[in-house]
């Protein structure tokens, strides 16, 4: 397993700039006058009161204009104006803060799934102290180094190694540093590569293309008003 060294100075500033780009890189082509929607599965949104808590947190995210909930399906559809401060991670975290326990997000033809550590089988358990990033078409040379340079821009990342047989990068943070799968995913995308799976203390986070997924803008509204 090859260790990838630290990048040149300036990468950290580039990373910080990248994180302000908005609702993931795929939202950059949306005209300012248009709206974007995403659907989030909230596993613990079991009643109208739960839906109001989740919606209340989502409405605090910049650009969010409407939240509709389907309690029976345990999903919320979020409508927002494109905003440079709005990210998919902020929407996900809002559902988390509303005690909704998000597990799935659908946006722009992609499905993001999180299977938490307690729900993983023994052979799927993450390796303690590291984050494993499986990347589509990872090459051991230039592409791995390019991705590593961006990943080193994340505060707390101390070491990156390549696991070429598994098309993966192994990220080791400094002691007591927790890394978000959304942050790691965005860094890989910024390096013009596609992450497939990220495992860490949070569990197993997967990213799948699904062009057939259609997000309904009119689910049954239950307890999602302001």
Residue spans per domain, the chain: 2-20+118-209, 31-108
Pairwise CA distance, residues 88 & 11, whole Å: 23
Over residues 90-115, the mean pLDDT reads: 97
Percent of the chain residues topping a pLDDT of 70: 79
30-44 per-position pLDDT tens digit: 445 588 999 999 999
Q: Is the pLDDT of residue 25 over 50?
A: no
Considering the segment(s) 31-108 as one domain, its CATH architecture is: 2-Layer Sandwich (3.30)
User: Which pLDDT does position 221 carry in this prediction?
Assistant: 42
142-200 per-position pLDDT tens digit: 889 999 999 999 999 999 999 999 999 999 999 999 999 999 999 999 999 999 999 99
User: Which pLDDT does position 93 carry in this prediction?
Assistant: 97
Residue 55 φ then ψ, to 5°: -65, -40
Cβ(18)–Cβ(81) below 8 Å: no
Q: Is the pLDDT of residue 86 over 70?
A: yes
Q: Cβ of 29: how many Cβ atoms within 10 Å?
A: 9
Task: Give burial (CB, 10 Å; 0-12/13-18/19+) of 212.
Answer: exposed
Topology match between the domains 2-20+118-209 and 31-108: yes
DSSP-assigned states of every residue in 103-123:
EEEEETTEEEEEEEGGGS-GG
Over residues 66-86, the mean pLDDT reads: 95
Give, in words, the CATH class of 2-20+118-209.
alpha beta
Pairwise CA distance, residues 128 & 125, whole Å: 9
Per-chain mean pLDDT for the chain = 84
Pairwise CA distance, residues 201 & 220, whole Å: 35
């Amino acid at each position: 397993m090859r260790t990838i060294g630290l990048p040149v100075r300036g990468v950290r500033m580039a990373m910080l700039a990248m994180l302000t780009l908005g609702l993931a890189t795929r939202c950059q082509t949306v005209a300012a006058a248009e709206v974007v929607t995403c659907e989030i599965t909230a596993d613990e949104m079991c009643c109208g009161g739960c839906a109001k808590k989740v919606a209340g947190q989502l409405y605090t995210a910049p650009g969010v204009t409407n939240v509709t909930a389907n309690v029976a399906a345990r999903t919320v559809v979020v409508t927002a104006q494109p905003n440079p401060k709005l990210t998919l991670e902020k929407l996900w975290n809002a559902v988390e803060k509303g005690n909704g326990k998000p597990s799935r997000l659908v946006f722009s033809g992609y499905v993001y799934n999180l299977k938490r550590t307690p729900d993983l089988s023994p052979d799927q358990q993450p390796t303690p102290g590291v984050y494993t990033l499986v990347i589509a078409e990872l090459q051991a040379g230039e592409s791995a180094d390019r991705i590593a340079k961006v990943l080193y821009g994340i505060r707390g990342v101390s070491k990156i190694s390549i696991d070429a047989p598994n098309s993966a990068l192994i990220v080791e943070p400094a002691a007591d540093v927790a890394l978000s799968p959304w942050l790691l995913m965005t860094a890989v995308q910024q390096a013009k590569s596609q992450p497939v799976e990220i495992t860490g203390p949070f569990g197993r986070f997967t990213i799948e293309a699904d062009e057939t997924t259609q997000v309904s803008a009119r689910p049954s509204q239950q307890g999602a008003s302001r």
